[in-house]
Amino acid sequence: MATEDRPEPEQVLGPAALARYADLLAVTCLALEPDDILFLGAHPEHRELIVALAESAYRAGARLVDITYDEPRAAAARVRYAADRHLGLLPDWHARRLRAGKGPDRASLFVVGEADPGVFDGLPPERVATDSARRMQRIRDVALASLDGRIRWTGCAWPTAYWAGQAYPGLETADAKRRLAEDILWFCRLGPDDPADGSGWVAHATMLAERARVLTELGLTRLRFHGPGTDLEVGLSPGTVFVGGRRRDAYGHVISANVPTEECYTSPRAGAAAGTFRCSLPLSFRGRLIEGIAGEFRSGRLVRLEAGTDADRDFLAAFLDSEPNARRLGEVALVDASSRIGQRKRVYFNTLLDENAAAHIAFGAGFGLTRRPDARRGVNRANLHIDVMIGTDDLEVTGTAADGKTVPLIADGVWRI
């Protein structure tokens, strides 16, 4: 690390590396333009990156950067003490702020990285799920706009003390945070051997978009996932589109919606999933680490759910039972062994990273943008979206073409198209 880029003792990254990361997110991946408004959402521990993002946005000509910090412990207090009728309340001004994110001159960026684990431990899962479901219902239009590509947004990651300790338990906190940050930059093609100008990311994201185009043009009618504990088949609707890397939003901006990303994904036909699955990585969800997830689908609906403990199963099930369509699939995503995240052979205990290390499925909401404009049918609609990872080195993925022929997609861990 160059002297001018060496972080101070309390910093995770040096100024130059931090600025490169912030510019990649705000300018390259969000396509921020002069006079745009940028909305940022984060935990207080993400402040170092948030400040850098604000600086990057204003350098790019943004007219306003609006920041909201999340406080999970206050949310837990609401679930613990509030009357049932007050669960899920959302201030009118907060809903208006979220709706203000729609428009050609608006962009939103959300930072993930678990900082407050276990805040909901010991609370009734039904109350936790009810609080979340009611709040999401009040902003359903915003969620749909995001899923359909009518909100310019991206998600990114930043180390926290807790999360870095999970990923690198053998290091001191400061060293673990820096090691995790270096991993994130490498995944974003900003590593020591990558171009400093972000062109490595553009090339990678463009390659994923081309792969998604090829998958789309195959005109597949079904996908089958087969591996240890998994034998799952999902149907695809006519007009299905695969998405990956970069895409054009409703206003013409070319964006990357998740950074880093290694996946090509689509939404299966709602009600067309059958078979079993077993997760290969744990799920970090609402401050809880859930291991051993497995289950079975029949006629498109999850009819059996397992987890490492009964308490974890009940916690996840409470969310899936909080609305009618949450036990259906909203996404299937393909990732092979070329993934830089997967190459680390490390569990990162963070969905943004872990879902890009392995193929995955998601319960709940599907993406309207995975259909041609003239064929937007069969997308599952729900108020939550929960990704679980099923990919392994032994996972095989095949597709069924319109003529009934089987098309190998992933075998022995690598793409076959």
Q: Nearest Cα to 179, choosing from 1, 336, 357?
A: 1
Q: Which domain holds residue 24?
A: 3-187
Question: What is the tens place of the pLDDT at every residue in 229-249?
Answer: 999 999 999 999 999 999 999
Domain contains 122: yes
CB atoms within 10 A of CB 124: 14
For residue 415, the surrounding DSSP H or E stretch is: strand 414-415
What is the DSSP code string of 307-326? -SSHHHHHHHHHHHTSSTTT
CA distance 228 to 278: 7
What's the one-letter identity of residue 155?
A: G
CA distance 224 to 409: 10
Domain contains 103: yes
For residue 265, the surrounding DSSP H or E stretch is: strand 264-266
Contact 287, 132 (CB under 8 A): no
* Amino acid 3: pLDDT: 52
Q: Is residue 177 domain-shared with residue 205, that is, in the same domain?
A: no
* Omega of the bond leading into 7 within 30 degrees of 0 (cis): no
Given a cut of 90, is residue 355 above it in pLDDT?
A: yes
Q: Is residue 243 domain-shared with residue 163, that is, in the same domain?
A: no
Q: Is residue 109 domain-shared with residue 145, that is, in the same domain?
A: yes
Structure token pair of residue 338? 């070329």
* Amino acid 126: pLDDT: 95
Contact 108, 152 (CB under 8 A): yes
Q: Nearest Cα to 187, choosing from 178, 175, 196, 200?
A: 200
CA distance 224 to 7: 47
Q: Is residue 274 domain-shared with residue 357, that is, in the same domain?
A: yes
Given a cut of 70, is residue 6 above it in pLDDT?
A: no
Average pLDDT over residues 57-86: 97
Contact 14, 5 (CB under 8 A): yes
Q: Is residue 182 domain-shared with residue 281, that is, in the same domain?
A: no
Structural domain tally of the chain?
A: 2
Domain contains 194: no
CA distance 239 to 230: 27
Question: What is the tens place of the pLDDT at every residue in 319-348?
Answer: 999 989 999 999 999 999 899 999 999 999
Q: Is residue 261 domain-shared with residue 393, that is, in the same domain?
A: yes
Q: Is residue 143 domain-shared with residue 212, that is, in the same domain?
A: no
What predicted TM-score, i.e. pTM, was given to this entire model?
A: 0.94
CB atoms within 10 A of CB 292: 14
Q: Nearest Cα to 287, choosing from 79, 50, 29?
A: 79
Q: Is residue 212 domain-shared with residue 177, that is, in the same domain?
A: no
Given a cut of 60, is residue 2 above it in pLDDT?
A: no
- 187, 213, 232: which is the final residue of a domain? 187
